[in-house]
Amino acid sequence: MIIDCAHYKDGQRRNKGPVPLEEAAARRGEGGFVWLGLFEPGDEEMAQVRDSFGLHELAVEDALAHHRHPKIESYENDVRLVILRTARYHDQAEEVSFGNIAIFFAPSFVITVRRGGESMLHEARQRLEQRPELLSAGSSSALWAILDEVVDDYAPVVAGLERDIDEIEATVFSAAVAPTERIYSLHGEATGFYRAVHPLLTVVDTVERTTMAPELRPYLREVHDHLLLVKEEVANQRDMLGLVLQANMAVISVEQTKVGVRQNSTIQQLTVLATIFLPLTFITGFFGQNFGWMVDHVDSLPAFLIYGVGGLSVALVVLLLWLRLGMSRSGTGAVQGEAAEPGRP
């Protein structure tokens, strides 16, 4: 779909409304340049644009493909294809959505093929039309305006990632466990955004050396500086998320250790109770048998106290002495081990 098509000459737009495609292609010989903006065009429409402007078929095929990295390619008739990655951050979903802008750039025309709604080039066109001193530099002014718009749109993405990273960082370093899946997800988003930003530095450098008008190079260097700042911030965010992930794993490990300690303490208490009741259960079960001797001799209260309660008391005393002996041996072994360590007083 054609969004806008205009002919620019001497720093001015020569038509108030969009120019038909055939007329725009014919005006290339009148001086100035034509700027054609397309949004998700179909194959038939792109074929018409290719025939009207003499674009290479491989360049058109490349423009319609999905790209994960920015790049710049040169074709015949002094035509260059610049691929840009646009980005927008969605706070609720905590993810970065990407789009593509393919720019066919030549001295007499600029054709943009936009896929995805992550960048509005109409605003870049309007700002450039308000700067006739820059617009008079020719088609490279449109390329600069597009690059400037794309890089400016990166700033909200950096800010959105920074807010979520600060929130996760505050959670982890307050000794609370943050969702590990959320950290992994944000790390993936930051990595994908870095892949869109970092290669664009090479593209901007190439444009500055080969195609940009001399009077526009200071403005392009400003775009380069902003892009470099974005790249450094995204790299720092990616590294920070790696550190936060490690810290979160450490917090999880501490929490698991605390749970293990509580479980061990519970098991130890249950073991002590089971150890105490084991001999008592044995003695009670033994005296609960109907042997003839027991029936004949344990027939009074003193006999019950001696054989029954006395037997239980003896078992408890022996068990306590055994437990205390074991603890004293453990303490003696620990002291001897410390004394045997070299270099300790």
The whole-number average pLDDT for the span 267-285 is 72
In a domain, 67, yes or no: yes
Domain count, the chain: 1
Three-class DSSP category at 173 = coil
Q: Are residues 143 and 207 in contact, defined by beta-carbon separation less than 8 angstroms?
A: yes
State residue 74 phi and psi, 5-degree precision.
-110, 140
Tell me what the pLDDT averaged over the chain comes to: 84
The whole-number average pLDDT for the span 66-90 is 91
In a domain, 239, yes or no: yes
Dist. CA 169–CA 157, nearest whole Å: 18
In a domain, 111, yes or no: yes
Q: Are residues 125 and 35 in contact, defined by beta-carbon separation less than 8 angstroms?
A: yes
Q: 230-241: per-residue pLDDT in tens?
A: 999 999 999 998
In a domain, 194, yes or no: yes
Question: Parallel, antiparallel, or unpaired: how do β-strands 2-9 and 71-75 relate?
Answer: unpaired
Higher per-residue pLDDT: 204 or 311: 204
In a domain, 325, yes or no: no
In a domain, 282, yes or no: no
The pTM of the full predicted model, rounded to 2 decimals, is: 0.73
In a domain, 145, yes or no: yes
Domain with 207 in it: 2-253
In a domain, 92, yes or no: yes
CATH assignment of the domain containing 61:
3.30.460.20
Using the predicted structure, report yes or no on whether residue 345 has a pLDDT greater than 50: no
The whole-number average pLDDT for the span 23-46 is 90
Dist. CA 145–CA 139, nearest whole Å: 10
